[in-house]
Structure 1
Amino acid sequence: MWTSSRTRLRRLEASWQQPASRSSHFPWVARYYDHVQHEPAYYRLPDQTWEDLNGDLLFELLDATVSRVGQQCLYHRLRSPLADESALHAFDAAATLLAQQPVARGQALLALDQLTADETYFLADLISGEPLPTLPGARFAPLLALGLLATLLGGFWLPVLWLGTGTFTLINTVFHFWQRTRIQRIVRPLMQLGRLHRAGRELYRAALPLRPLEPLAAPLARLGAILRRVAFFQVEDNLGVLELLKALLLLNQLVYARCRVAVQQHAPAIRAVFEAVGYVDCALAVASFRQRHATCVPHFGPAAEGIRLQAGYHPLVPGCVPNDLTLSGQGVLLTGSNMAGKTTFMRTLGVNALLAQTIATCPATAYRAPFCRVLTSLTLADSLPTGKSYYLVEAETMRQLLLACDAAPGSYLLLLDELFKGTNTQERIAANKAVLAYLQPRSWVVAATHDGELGALLESCYVEYHFCETVTAEDWYFDYRLKAGPLTTRNAIRLLARLHYPAQVIADAQALSATLATRAQPDSAQPSTPEELISVADLTR
């Protein structure tokens, strides 16, 4: 059904201002990223870190893109942080322009609206320069087509050759229908090249002052040369004449062979148009995100200035309480009970660092930091298929982090939650102390723990912060405010009482806790060495 441009623009503008939630088919959305992730780059966010930062949910929150190409480029951008301040400033300028200039935004929305079919996801298959699949028996297609024509024409001088025409007709027809479904599946992305070309051409002609659109004239011209061949597959024939010719002369196979060569030759042009179109769509999505959320533009400085986050919040947490943090010289050790906000705060810091270097936008009032690579260990789990215990998964993950920091010291921001909790108390504290002390000179570290003893063991290289809760006889609540210093209260047993555990359980737990605390802190001496601190920790557990 035909719809006027004005009606389409009203619909697109409303969707841009308040995007409707939509579920994403991530294997298709990630198709472009999967093709290019092994190319040289400053950084690619590992799967574990992407999962720890709730990357899929973050993508869906940001996804106000119009086109499938834009979706794929946004996903790729979020997983490929940059260390190029000029490129990030240019992207910020693009998002700002599209937010502030309705005419430019309208032109971009209408151009991108041509690339909404699901088949557009498969355009990413054409940008790698790898050849399209070869058809079985493709080298025989020219011979079979020539054989049919030769016997057909030769039969006018030697009629017996028409027997060969009949044979070739049968062979070619079988060959055609045998490969027709395969060809239709392979050419799906080719059928979208025309839409990609039109979208790129309209964006280029709109003369938007965006960096990727400036050199687009030559790639558009090269892409246009492919379209003349691809157009053959888009011709509709209601009378069946063309289908008959395709079957007899194997036209599908012959044209596909030429398209296959052309696509491989012009893959850089296809990619240039694809990425330019996706860039504009990403900038539109970020402009929409900025309209809906309180954000700031990040600033980047030398490592000596540290990382400074002001009123940072997590955009996936409704009503998230903002917090400040400065990382300069020392690492940060977070303590606090479960649900108090430790992990959410670490995710907040990680999301701000990630978005700063991908979309030049931070959910905070101010963010200043050096360029860094985010690595996390927040949501590990044991692996049943490989038979790995939780502790072994932890140990292997931390080994990878240690190797990464050794290879590029000073370039990582590490967010670590309760390391080595899959083992006993004494060895957990000892391993934590050793690993965190090793990492601190080599990276920016924020680590959460329930082991308060680590504060004393690491006081020379870590500063302590904590989150706490308030427990009353009737209720408990968290203020989610980051506070300086170690946690000085314990409310775990009081929470059990608030949850109506049996009175005997509560009384026994309180009595044993008091006994252990007395044994751990005798009046005559205070623990002063790491060994004594670890021994005390054993007594209190």
Structure 2
Amino acid sequence: MQQTIVLVLSMLVVIIAATLWQSIRHKKKVYHYVRQRYGQAPQKSYTDKLESIREYWQACAKVLPDYQAVDQITWNDLELDLVFDHLNTTYSSLGSEVLYARLHRLDGPPPEQLIDVLKHDQALRDDVAYFLHGIAKWDYNHVSDYLFDPAAQKTAGFYTWQGFVPVLGLILLPFHSPLGIITITTGFAWNAWTQSRLRLRIEHGISAIAYLSRAIHFGQKLAKRLKSSEPSYAQALQSALEPLKSIPSKLPIQVDNANPLAFLVQYLNYAILLDFTMYNRALQILIKQPQALHRLWETLGDLEIALAIASLEERQTITRPIFQTDHAITAQNITHPLIKEAVPNPVDFTRSTLVSGSNASGKSTYVKAIAISAITAQCLGRVFADQFSMKPGRIITSMAIRDDIHEGDSYFVAEIKSLRRMIEATLSGQTIYLFIDEILKGTNTIERIAASHAMLSFFHEHRVPLIAATHDIELTELQAPFMNNIHFREEVHQDEITFDYQIKAGPTQTTNAINLLKYYDFPTEVTDQAERLADHFKLNRRWSD
């Protein structure tokens, strides 16, 4: 008996020592990782699947109107999934989820003071990154299911007393060994059967509570660490944690299999239904405080976003926007965030503007660059320019239109629906900015010019700022009294066509479609006839005599 006790104690010492050694080694590794990663572009990862990240935003959008400020058409037009990937240097799934949701909203960035202190205090920054890393990337954590209506989720049933049966057997063992052994064996078998039968029903819930437990645990460490250097944020975080303080900050219900204690946790879950009991307790707390979980996620998300912004400033030219009362946008040296070595350009969006130019000259990229910075200005407090001023307002685009197979809409019908929402927003009286690429290009030339002119005039009459990219020289002429005209230009050489991607004043005076046909070796009978017809139309404003 004594040898058995010594053996058990020795095994426990070995397990504890191995766990401590692994913990120290892991800590050093994580600190090295976060130091190396700061100021670097996001790394490709097998985690952070967009399908998982979207769950938080989708849950919020059903309840909170401000989560829908950037609609799905605008999101797709501007390829904001890619912009999110470019910005996403967060350390936890929680951070990714809140950043993704924040890019849909226009209700302000995290506190500037928080960003500044993380930029200038490396020791604090490393500690913050370490604790956020501890929350971990955990796809499909299902926390979004518990954000606003935890009472709708299933409980595990009432198994506290059932879980206690094997413990009762241990108590009986010294007094009546046979009865104790029978009680332990029966209790374990009963609990294992219950575990296998019911766990699938609440698997998502156990995952959510386990991840919440990590957020609470490391949130408490963050609040303590930030108390001296950023007391206002630390107080906000502590207030967010307070309603959830009764949830254990270290729920041992899901443990990494690499952890030496994993087998012990799994054994306890089967032996005494530990995970069922803790899940029930946590769910009851969330039901009593239905808004607490969302508040904690947003508060910790602010910290993740602040750190991501500080890191972005180390690797890319960005600046803080200036918010004004004039319904306009002006900027210096604006660029598209996803284009390497992008050519910067000025923006004078004090008057609605038509951007004309040849194919591939940079019109659409320029328009998208303005729209993207107008969004990030309001949700992150940063823009991809040297200077940027605007009045806050909704950004609405109609750009990357395509046939909608699911709705049965043709290209032109899809475009009409996209433009219709611009009309509705205009009539609502909201402060909005409109961005259009190739208006009504899904129809014939005569009706396109006529309808486009009428629609642009409508927006002008309602004093809605609009910037549109167009190939239609006729439209630049018709709108000259109401809109600024700017253009991009190409240089045609014998063997190539080059672009400088710099804005020029006035409407375009050149075209390059036929030159591009020549460049790609189309038959001369095609290009020669095209040139003759184009020259005839420019002189006579008709295609034939």
- Match among 340, 358, 363 for residue 379 of structure 2: 358
Bigger CA drift: 450-459 or 360-369? 450-459
Greater Cα shift, 505-514 or 308-317: 505-514
- Counterpart CA distance in 1 for 2:522 and 2:389 is 47
Aligned equivalent of 2:197: 178
Most deviating of 412-421 and 502-511: 502-511
SS in 2 for 1:192: helix
Structure 1: 4+ residue segments shifted above 6 A: 141-149, 166-173, 232-237
Query: Is residue 513 from structure 1 mapped to residue 534 from structure 2 by the alignment?
Result: yes
1:33 Cα deviation after fit = 1.2
C-alpha deviation, 1:423, in angstroms: 0.8
Instruction: Give 1:153's aligned residue.
Output: none
Q: Which runs of 5+ in 1 are unaligned?
A: 150-165, 521-535
| CA 1:336–1:253: 2 relative to 1, 3 Å | same
Q: Is 1:309 aligned with 2:309?
A: no
1:76 paired with 2:101, answer yes
Matches within 5 A, 1:293-372: 293-303=316-326, 306-328=328-350, 330-372=351-393
Is the CA contact (8 Å cut-off) linking 1:43 and 1:80 kept in structure 2? Answer: yes
Distance 2:270 2:329 in 1: 69
Distance in 1 (alpha carbons) for counterparts of 2:186 and 2:220: 48
SS at 1:215 equivalent: helix
Letter of the aligned partner of 2:206 in structure 1?
V
Post-superposition offset of 1:204: 1.0
Shift in CA distance, 245/276, structure 1 to aligned 2, threshold 3 Å: same
CA 1:119–1:92 in structure 2 vs 1: closer, same or farther (change >3 Å)? same
Residue 433 of structure 1 aligns with an amino acid whose one-letter code is H
C-alpha distance in structure 2 between counterparts of 1:230 and 1:170, whole Å: 23
1:100 aligned onto 2:100: no
The 1:132/1:113 distance shift into structure 2, 3 A limit, reads farther
Aligned to 1:277: 300
Identify which range, 22-31 or 431-440, moves more after superposition.
Answer: 22-31
Residues 141-540 of structure 1 aligned to structure 2 (within 5 Å): 174-206=193-225, 207=227, 208-209=229-230, 211-227=232-248, 230=251, 238=264, 242=268, 246=272, 256-303=279-326, 306-328=328-350, 330-409=351-430, 411-440=431-460, 441-520=462-541, 539=543
Return the alpha-carbon distance in structure 1 between the equivalents of residues 473 and 202 of structure 2. Answer: 65
How much does 1:31 deviate?
2.1
For structure 2, list consecutive stretches of 5 or more residues without a partner in the other structure.
1-21, 168-184, 256-260
Q: After superposition, what is the alpha-carbon deviation per residue over 1:173-218, rounded to whole angstroms, capped at 9, x for unaligned?
A: 7554310233344211111233211221122112242644323334
**The 10-residue stretch of structure 1 (293-302 or 10-19) with the greater mean CA deviation from structure 2:** 10-19
Check 1:214–1:145 CA distance in 2 against 1; reply closer, same or farther (3 A cut).
Answer: closer
2: CA distance, partners of 1:251 / 1:239: 9
Q: Which amino acid aligns with 2:74?
A: T
Give me the identity figure in percent.
26
SS in 1 for 2:533: helix
2:353–2:483 contact (8 Å) kept in structure 1: yes
Pair 1:34-2:58 in alignment: yes
Distance (Å, rounded) in 2 between the aligned partners of 1:233 and 1:62: 30
SS of the aligned residue for 1:379 comes to: coil
CA distance in 2, matches of 1:118, 1:240: 19
Q: CA deviation at 1:370?
A: 0.5
Name the residue aligned to 2:83.
58
CA distance in structure 2 between the partners assigned to 1:111 and 1:437 by the alignment: 55
Secondary structure of the residue aligned to 1:413 is strand
Q: Is the 1:310–1:364 contact (alpha carbons within 8 Å) kept by the matching residues of 2?
A: yes
Paired residue for 2:74, among 49, 53, 64? 49
Would you say the 8 A contact 2:219–2:241 is kept in 1?
Answer: yes
1:479 and 1:245 map into 2 onto residues whose CA distance is 71
Partner AA of 2:243 in structure 1: R
Supply the AA of the counterpart residue of 2:357: G
2:538 counterpart letter in structure 1: A
Distance in 2 between the 1:132 and 1:336 partners?
56
Deviation at 1:387, TM superposition (A): 2.1
CA distance in 2, matches of 1:173, 1:367: 62
Task: After TM superposition, give the deviation of residue 257 of structure 1 in Å.
Answer: 3.6
Kindly provide the CA deviation profile for residues 493-524 of structure 1, in whole angstroms up to 9, marking residues without a partner as x.
Answer: 2222222111111221122222223322xxxx
Q: Is the 8 A contact 1:418 1:447 kept in 2?
A: yes
Superposed CA RMSD? 3.2
Distance verdict in 2 for CA 1:42–1:30, change over 3 Å: closer
Question: More displaced, 436-445 or 42-51?
Answer: 42-51
Q: Give the distance between the partners of 2:346 and 2:507, measured in 1 at CA.
A: 17
Greater shift, 268-277 or 311-320, is seen at 268-277
Offset at 1:120? 7.7
CA contact 2:331–2:348 (8 Å) conserved in 1:
yes
Are the aligned partners of 2:358 and 2:510 in contact in 1 as well (CA < 8 Å)?
no
Q: How many residue pairs were aligned? A: 496
In the other structure, the counterpart of 1:123 is 143
**Cα distance in 2, alignment partners of residues 509 and 96 from structure 1:** 59
Q: 2 CA distance for matches of 1:169 and 1:294? A: 61
Give 1:147 deviation, angstroms. Answer: 13
Q: CA deviation at 1:62?
A: 0.8
What's the TM-score, normalizing by structure 1? 0.83
On the 8 A contact 2:353/2:485 being kept in 1, the answer is yes
Give distance in 2, aligned partners of 1:121 and 1:361: 30
Give 1:61 shift: 1.0
SS of residue matched to 1:393: helix
The secondary structure found in structure 1 opposite 2:245 is helix
Question: Partners in 1 of 2:162 and 2:29 — Cα distance?
Answer: 52
CA contact (8 A) 2:217 2:250 kept: no
* Alignment CA distance shift 1:454-1:229 (3 Å): closer
SS at match of 2:442: coil
Q: Quote the offset at 1:419 in angstroms.
A: 1.2
TM-score (norm 2): 0.83
Supply the distance in 2 between the matched residues of 1:492 and 1:252 (Cα, whole angstroms): 66
1:167/1:202 Cα in 2 relative to 1: closer, same or farther (>3 Å)? closer
CA offset at residue 36 of structure 1?
A: 0.9
Q: What is the distance in 1 between the residues matched to 2:334 and 2:265? A: 65
| CA offsets 1:133-173 (integer angstroms, 9 cap, x no match) | 3259x47x689999999xxxxxxxxxxxxxxxx99999877
Structure-2 change in CA distance of 1:44 and 1:343 (3 Å): same
Question: Which moves more between the two structures, 370-379 or 198-207?
Answer: 198-207
What is the identity, as a one-letter code, of the residue corresponding to 2:437?
A: D
